[in-house]
């Protein structure tokens, strides 16, 4: 019910002052911030309801999945263990689980994927994070191309894929150790690059700090960075950008 | 000259094997990475040629501006001092200089600004960085709305602008001290947020490190971060995203 | 025995010089710092005797609980394992154990709870620390209201509880990841806020360092911070403040 | 105007639906967060309007002071330079300036000071920060006792003041170098201690980081910490606590 | 096939323009960066194909070894577990495994070792890293002398080996804790020193950070540093230097 | 054999030039650094031969103990596990093992202990490190007084022992968390204080870093610091100081 | 007046209970900590009164020197500027000032220097800190030998002084950059070594942090460390150790 | 005089035992470490005598240059100011000074330069460090090719120089900000790469720390790192490697 509607009911006597006052007292923010976002609601809710599974207890987890499925008809879980996946699949047999990215998803069949997000990763050890990014973007409705194992220690591998990367609306660059992949891609293509440092490495990589600093200091234009190992975060914002671009461009789908 | 064209000339005898070989030897990368970016060239070149003025010596600086003006007809300098501005304006009287952001720009008159980038800042001390972001995005062709002094210590200020922020294609959140602004905005609007930590603060702000960590750890979806005080970098990627979105949506301009 | 009393006994000959000297030699500080705190003794002793259970060996642990129960009639253990709880309950069946906060408490029945401490937490993963704070404050005699899962990534959740938070004498804000909750609350209510960073998060959260820096750099007034995961410390000082306020205000109890 | 009042005017026809809607649209947050704080308004506003003078330009600064004086009739500036003080005093001759703490204040004459905040400092070099805390607390209405130069390297100095410190409602402990003062005080008195690390020191003090870590790790109960050199922040929260306690206890004033 | 050869075939009609174009499109970088390295190919490939075994799954690991053996006839694995070694030896019985350095190697019999690399280590706990360096250098074709347990806390041990160390073409200095060994050797011999900090130590060694900083700050000339515990990296570059020197000096072999 | 003696034998023909040359070649440093330390040899050797047991393999460990026992007749092992203790005791039944400090010692019976080292510790959790210090000092010949659980959160405990601490020739202060104990002792007694930070604590104690910084920044005179948890190092240098003092003062023994 | 004396006067009626009570109330700590240190008073007071001149204002500074001169007849100022030295010399013409160490001292003529402290420094840039250490130790009554510029990059320089260093009762090792000097000396001589990291260096020396970590991690026995650039602290504790040793050994003076 | 020679003279009576003893006592290390380096002496001495000019006082500086010129006939000063250059040129007019690298050199005319060191730098701001490296290598006798401004943000610039870089015996990679240049070069050429992080950058570059970590974590083989801004160190070790290679290969000069 909109502010105006309430006021009109107060005026006409359909609603008492006390009822109206209660309304403004109880839900003022919905009138303000939340309700105004209605047109974006599904995407937003979907994301707001992504389940960070790690550490959740069993009954809690299934309960959350049930509630989301009721509201949304689809659900995304990140950092799920194989056991958690079994648990959720016992209730929702259509759930799929990827042990590499630990993504546990229940998707509506036949969901169209639009636009293009390119997910590039440095080494094979970065693939779990890259897959988390890729599958998140796919769940949210983006088409994804995976370009893995193109680390800069053998630059020709990356260079031979520049054409394909350039066709994406947004690029995700996933790398550990020295994390230079994002800068190199940023210098080769003219698309926004979302950089994901990973905790892959040893010694002075300090669990991803070195890669994070490298990416934050990128001398290439068009690079912004998310948290260490945060494949989900990268997939989310890259998909957001991709869908905004192709959502308004029906030829590109 | 394209690869195919050369090969056809070799076949037809118009070009000798040696000439063709020299061609591939001399400029292979243009064929590959660089020349393929032609359709995006102006934007890309413009950015590639942005001048980081700080520390450049005088003759160097004017030389660079002259070369860029010749090639591009417009030029953007960041972190320029008032003296450097005078120097460049002696040669290009149409140059404009903003002492707050230290942006020195020579723009083509009547450049249309498209889409919308919203630049939000926490405190008045963050305005130099916010302005660097705003003016960079404007130089690159984006329309910008400035929403300053909406730090979270007085949350009602920010909340009263949520509607306007939500209308942007991309939001830039500039904040020092604890840097929580980006997360709060990320939780209120459903647009990509580019977070810029600033070195504003004292004590344990450690010249922006605290704000950087806050932003990188954002629990809100759709937030990615650039370097401390890197208003230019934020303006660049936000404009890149904004133009990609509205470039394909002519109603939005 | 007070200084004056001893001196009078020396004067009257009831006590020898040697006895009196021994008294001053043995316990001079009681006369000074400690004994002067008598009126606050129970609270103080209670706290001084709080048992940090983690790593204590079994016989040690039960011994300590026995001594405290003898002196005080109630006891508080923090970071107790389930096995330690069983051990203590074998001896004191009235002991209660909360596996979430790992608080092991033996309380006098019917203890009145006074005033109000509001314990807010960002995410569900912060609840163990929040519960440690809440149960500590309750053990020490404060009434506590728990307002959990009001992290800033969905700001409307927090905003809808501002009224209730404002009614507390002291607010505890528990958050991990970017830890912005304390600043946001500090900007919304006019009560002292005790901020507790938690080690919840990953990557650049650096086991709570990021949240700690955020809280220490808070741009909101009225925020002070305790150690990472130190729910006990927050519960202690918040209860101290709350009891001081309501202890002198009998209407508020 | 309260929500209820508006609704009643709508009902009675005194106010049109459009007017009422505009009211809710324009100032929704006042109805919610802000207006509910009315009883605490003056203190809150006073603090919200504290001016961090450092780096403000001249016309800005005087403008802000003028606006605050109009609204509040008193104003507090922190980190003001001597030149800024002269500027403000040219307009408000009643302004007082303390070059040690760099506090610039315009206070209503005869303001009563209530309760007691004890401000302790380690060395003479910590006095500027301690004075900022003390004068902030005084401006906000708290009586303050200064106990300076009681660093732990000569413990008898501190011990001889324990009695007096114990009489305060809240203690501020200001120290640089190793910053152990807060813990020692926390172990001696049974009052909330607000710890302020200072950047005093050299070498591995790392501009106050060492003192900050010491205070955050305090093994004494009842200690919470603010930012390095943040005398204002400590004075604010200590005064908030003190006034809450003595505000409800008329004997203590 | 070389660029020239292709062009000649195009000219002669042996190859169509489309085929040739495909060639340039598919593998442009081989023509450029990669193929030019032909004369160094074996060493380079060998190294490029070194397998970082840790964390690889079983079928993956044996697959990689099989492919490398096919291409190269020898293979080097680092950080291999005993189980991984068994697995590879089941397929390649000639593989040797050293449990100390965790090096798993399949070498061609009778490989000549040339020049001299001296591998010095501080304590016995540094030997796993030192051995990784030594065995890597040997695999790549360098003769290695091991000089272990010559830490600076008993300087005479090191001094009595200066003569022998001086005879090497390149010296590797492996040390944990304070990591001063590299500087001391750099001050005693006139050969390039590759410093390897190890994570050996406790407390403020911070998993090798202290040793890394010591080595990077070396006041001796001729010292450069690799990552913490990166014996492989040191063995690689030391061998590279050694072979370059003795490769052109047939007397030294 | 001394340099002079050799030269005289060369002169007299008792020793050939070759033999003498070999002598200088083989052991030049003994002539120089090592042999000159003869008068201090036993203490020095004893210490040089202290075995850091952690991580040593079984045959290695017993071998080392056997060699040291042969040379010295007594041996000290630090950080020994219970299993390692059993192993050594199977060979040397007179070996004693303390599971708290993990010190494994074989001492000559009736060794006189001289002077006085006072070992103070903050909390019970610091006792393993304190005991390592105490038992090391005792092994090396110092009399030790243990003053445990005198942390500064209950200052009266420490103050009541000042007299006894003041009687030591050297004081060891062992503390974790905020580590302020060393400074407080340094301010109370006029003896050299060796500070040992421990890794006891949680959160921002950062495994002892906080305590280390506190101790290094001590504002008290006469405090020097060893590594985190390095009880052995503190016991060694404190004993060295104590023995030097009382070694020349026969009344004090 | 001693506790016993007072009590006897109370008993005999020479002192009233109130007077006695006042005595215990006023100065309890003197009875306890302070007064018991009488025999060590001069050294202690002298040190307690050392003036850290840096940042002191002029009238303050001269006032402090006057008071100390009255009480002690000698005074030591550290980190004094040339201007401060002039100021103090205007009042005390016998004051001497060393611009290198910035030590400003007023000493009693003919003070005997006893024992031996050896002050070793790595490079010429470390001399200011080394001199602060040396002059502090001399002021406090120790004989000092300076052995400068014996950094480990040219180890023979240090080795040729081992004999002389070994004759000291305590060694101070002052070094910046990688700071390995302390460990090397600790491995060569059997005397307590006080290590002083200096902020000399650049890049990853991080203003002395690298040297500090090196020294704290020393693998040599008998090394303890003071703060970065804290020559005074090292001179104080080294002198304390030296005087304790030779104070009881009259042959050594 | 060799050990053997002395001994023979003692035997023959040409030298007394005392004389011989004095010889061994005075210069034992020359016999050992130093004198054995004779064949490498000039290079070594040259380097050992490189003058770090920064902070040296004037008379000191000219004195050092005079002594080196006497011994060596050439001299190298690093980090010299223009004023210091003038001072030295007043005495040695043949001295050359480069204000960019701040290298002050007096070289023998006609010195042949051998082999090839390639010095690559990322941005123009890195040139001072790159030039320090280049001029150091030239002074020490290496031929140098400068390849500047080939940062990875425009990768084609670097790729077009791969052929030339590959021809060097050793490559120096100088870069600030994210410092990825070294890894990229390491992945493109098969030569040892000496990486030099620079302090160029802002924000989270932390004065070169980010670049240092990137380089230390390089995933490319054949990369070792020197200190931040340490162009001299890189030039030294690269020249050492280059001369060792070409010194034995006369065709390459």
Decide if F160 touches C, using CB distance below 8 A: yes
Res C62 pLDDT > 80? yes
Measured CA to CA in angstroms, residue E21 lies from A165, D176, E26 at distances of 21, 71, 8
Give pLDDT tens digits for D5-16.
778 888 888 888
Q: In this structure, what DSSP letter does residue G30 have? A: I
Contact B239, A226 (CB under 8 A): no
Q: Where are the alpha helices (DSSP H) in chain E?
A: 3-12, 17-26, 41-48, 58-72, 82-91, 127-139, 155-159, 162-166, 181-188, 209-216, 231-247
Predicted local distance difference test score (pLDDT) of residue G136: 97
Contact B215, B225 (CB under 8 A): yes
Q: Could you tell me which residue, E249 or A56, shows the higher pLDDT?
A: A56
Decide if D199 touches B, using CB distance below 8 A: yes
DSSP string, A149-166: S--GGGHHHHHTTHHHHH
Q: Which of C117-121, D42-46, D181-185, E37-41 has the lowest mean pLDDT?
A: E37-41
| Chains in contact with chain B (at least 3 beta-carbon pairs closer than 8 A) | A, C, D, E, H
Distance CA G191, CA G177 (A): 24
Counting CB pairs under 8 A, whether chains H and C reach 3 or more, is: no
Distance CA F113, CA F139 (A): 9
- Of all residues in chain E, the one with the smallest CA distance to H218 is E227
Decide if C3 touches G, using CB distance below 8 A: yes
Decide if D99 touches G, using CB distance below 8 A: no
Candidates F7, F21, F32; nearest CB to H4:
F21
Decide if E28 touches A, using CB distance below 8 A: yes
Test D17 with A24 for CB contact under 8 angstroms. Answer: no
Residue segments in chain E with a per-residue pLDDT below the cut of 70? 1-3, 21-49, 248-253
Instruction: Give the confidence band of C162 by pLDDT, cuts at 50, 70, 90.
Output: confident
Give pLDDT tens digits for G85-114.
999 999 999 999 999 999 999 998 888 999
Q: Which of D186-195, E244-253, F3-12, H232-241 has the lowest mean pLDDT?
A: E244-253
Test E217 with H224 for CB contact under 8 angstroms. Answer: no
Q: What is the pLDDT of chain D when averaged over all its residues?
A: 84
DSSP string, C106-157: E--TT---EEEEEEEESSGGGHHHHHHHHHHHHHTTEEEEEE-S--GGGHHH
Test E11 with B7 for CB contact under 8 angstroms. Answer: no
Decide if C155 touches A, using CB distance below 8 A: yes
Please give the share of chain D, as a percent, with pLDDT higher than 90: 54
Longest dimension (CA), chain G: 76
- Of all residues in chain A, the one with the smallest CA distance to C178 is A227
Predicted local distance difference test score (pLDDT) of residue C117: 98
Predicted local distance difference test score (pLDDT) of residue H20: 76
Contact D135, D143 (CB under 8 A): no
Most D CBs within 10 Å, among C167, C192, C230, to test the D interface: C192
Q: Which residues of G94-111 are buried (b: 16+ CB within 10 A; e: fewer)?
A: ebebbeebbbbbbeeeee
Residue segments in chain B with a per-residue pLDDT below the cut of 50? 25-48, 249-253
Distance CA G192, CA G168 (A): 9
Instruction: Give the confidence band of A252 by pLDDT, cuts at 50, 70, 90.
Output: very low
Predicted local distance difference test score (pLDDT) of residue D190: 87
User: What average pLDDT does range G152-159 have in this prediction?
Assistant: 82
Predicted local distance difference test score (pLDDT) of residue F41: 34
Closest CA–CA distance from residue A208 to any residue of chain E (Å): 14
Test D227 with B160 for CB contact under 8 angstroms. Answer: no
Contacting residues of A for E199, CB less than 8 Å apart: 203
Closest by CA to B131, choosing from B176, B85, B174, B82, is B174
Closest CA–CA distance from residue H183 to any residue of chain G (Å): 20
Residue B74, judged by CB atoms within 10 A of its CB (0-12, 13-18, 19+), counts as middle
Distance CA H241, CA H253 (A): 14
| Chains in contact with chain F (at least 3 beta-carbon pairs closer than 8 A) | C, D, E, G, H
- Of all residues in chain B, the one with the smallest CA distance to A222 is B237
Candidates D37, D194, D246; nearest CB to C190:
D37
Q: In this structure, what DSSP letter does residue B35 have? A: G
Contacting residues of G for F33, CB less than 8 Å apart: 159, 162, 188
User: What average pLDDT does range D36-43 have in this prediction?
Assistant: 31
User: What average pLDDT does range A2-28 have in this prediction?
Assistant: 71
Candidates H48, H55, H209; nearest CB to G125:
H55
Predicted local distance difference test score (pLDDT) of residue B117: 98
Torsion angles phi and psi, residue B205, rounded to 5: -75, -20
Contacting residues of A for H183, CB less than 8 Å apart: 152-153, 178, 180
Predicted local distance difference test score (pLDDT) of residue H191: 93
Q: Could you tell me which residue, F132 or D68, shows the higher pLDDT?
A: F132
Test A20 with D32 for CB contact under 8 angstroms. Answer: no
Contacting residues of F for G43, CB less than 8 Å apart: 190
Distance CA D231, CA D214 (A): 17
Test F240 with G192 for CB contact under 8 angstroms. Answer: yes
- Of all residues in chain C, the one with the smallest CA distance to G26 is C32
Predicted local distance difference test score (pLDDT) of residue A124: 84
Decide if D25 touches A, using CB distance below 8 A: yes
Longest dimension (CA), chain D: 75
Counting CB pairs under 8 A, whether chains F and G reach 3 or more, is: yes
- Of all residues in chain F, the one with the smallest CA distance to G187 is F48
Contacting residues of A for E208, CB less than 8 Å apart: 203-204
Radius of gyration of the CA atoms of chain B, in A: 22
Q: In this structure, what DSSP letter does residue H30 have? A: I
pLDDT by residue for chain H (253 residues), tens digit each? 566 777 888 888 888 887 776 656 433 333 332 222 222 333 333 344 688 898 888 888 898 898 888 877 899 999 999 999 999 999 999 999 999 999 999 998 888 999 999 999 998 889 999 999 999 999 999 999 999 988 888 787 888 888 899 899 999 999 999 899 999 999 888 899 999 999 999 999 999 999 999 999 998 899 999 999 999 999 999 999 999 998 754 444 3
Decide if E85 touches H, using CB distance below 8 A: no
User: What average pLDDT does range C156-165 have in this prediction?
Assistant: 85
Most F CBs within 10 Å, among E153, E177, E188, E202, to test the F interface: E202
Residues ≥6 apart with Cβ < 8 Å to E131: E98, E100, E101, E103, E146, E231
Residue H214, judged by CB atoms within 10 A of its CB (0-12, 13-18, 19+), counts as buried
Q: Tell whether the torsion through CA atoms of C47, C52, C56 and C62 is positive or negative.
A: positive
Torsion angles phi and psi, residue G221, rounded to 5: -80, 150
Test G240 with F191 for CB contact under 8 angstroms. Answer: yes
Most H CBs within 10 Å, among A165, A177, A178, A181, to test the H interface: A178
| Chains in contact with chain A (at least 3 beta-carbon pairs closer than 8 A) | B, C, D, E, H
Contacting residues of H for A179, CB less than 8 Å apart: 178, 214, 217
Contact D218, F180 (CB under 8 A): no
Candidates A125, A156, A160; nearest CB to E55:
A125
Distance CA C86, CA B186 (A): 45
Mode of pairing for the β-strands spanning G114-121 and G170-175: parallel
Distance CA H253, CA H243 (A): 10
Candidates E124, E125, E204; nearest CB to F212:
E204
Closest CA–CA distance from residue F160 to any residue of chain C (Å): 7
Contact A64, A51 (CB under 8 A): yes
Candidates E11, E25, E32; nearest CB to B10:
E11
Predicted local distance difference test score (pLDDT) of residue E78: 95
Predicted local distance difference test score (pLDDT) of residue E39: 28
Distance CA D174, CA D181 (A): 7
ipTM of the complex: 0.82
Mode of pairing for the β-strands spanning H114-121 and H170-175: parallel
Res G193 pLDDT > 90? yes
Decide if A125 touches E, using CB distance below 8 A: yes
Predicted local distance difference test score (pLDDT) of residue B50: 85
Res A242 pLDDT > 80? yes
| Chains in contact with chain H (at least 3 beta-carbon pairs closer than 8 A) | A, B, E, F, G
Test D17 with A11 for CB contact under 8 angstroms. Answer: yes
Distance CA D231, CA D130 (A): 6
Residues ≥6 apart with Cβ < 8 Å to F156: C29, C30, C32, C33, C34
Contact E9, E15 (CB under 8 A): yes
Candidates H221, H234, H245; nearest CB to E47:
H221
Predicted local distance difference test score (pLDDT) of residue C26: 39
Res G36 pLDDT > 70? no
Most E CBs within 10 Å, among G124, G152, G173, G208, to test the E interface: G152
Residues ≥6 apart with Cβ < 8 Å to H5: none
Predicted local distance difference test score (pLDDT) of residue B248: 52
Q: In this structure, what DSSP letter does residue E38 have? A: G
Closest CA–CA distance from residue G166 to any residue of chain F (Å): 8
Contacting residues of C for D47, CB less than 8 Å apart: 221-222
Contact G11, C11 (CB under 8 A): yes
């Amino acid at each position: 019910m909109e502010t105006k509607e309430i006021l009109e009911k107060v005026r006409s006597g359909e609603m008492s002052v006390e009822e109206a006052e209660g309304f403004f007292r109880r839900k003022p923010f919905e009138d303000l911030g939340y309700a105004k976002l209605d047109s974006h609601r599904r995407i937003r809710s979907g994301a707001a309801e992504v389940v960070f599974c790690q550490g959740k207890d069993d009954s809690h987890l299934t309960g959350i999945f049930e509630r989301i499925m009721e509201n949304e008809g689809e659900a995304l879980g990140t950092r799920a263990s194989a056991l958690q996946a079994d648990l959720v699949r016992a209730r929702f047999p259509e759930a799929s689980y990827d042990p590499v990215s630990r993504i546990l998803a229940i998707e509506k069949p036949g969901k169209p994927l639009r636009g293009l997000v390119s997910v590039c990763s440095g080494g094979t050890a970065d693939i779990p994070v890259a897959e988390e990014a890729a599958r998140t973007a796919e769940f949210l409705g983006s088409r994804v191309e995976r370009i893995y194992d193109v680390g800069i220690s053998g630059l020709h591998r990356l260079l031979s894929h520049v054409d394909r990367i350039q066709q994406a609306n947004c690029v995700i660059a996933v790398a550990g150790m020295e994390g230079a992949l994002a800068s190199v891609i940023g210098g080769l293509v003219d698309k926004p690059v979302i950089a994901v440092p990973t905790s892959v490495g040893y010694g002075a990589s300090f669990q991803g700090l070195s890669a994070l600093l490298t990416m934050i200091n990128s001398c290439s234009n068009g690079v912004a960075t998310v948290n260490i190992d945060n494949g989900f975060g990268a997939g989310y914002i890259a998909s957001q950008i991709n869908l905004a671009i192709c959502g308004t461009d029906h030829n590109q789908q």
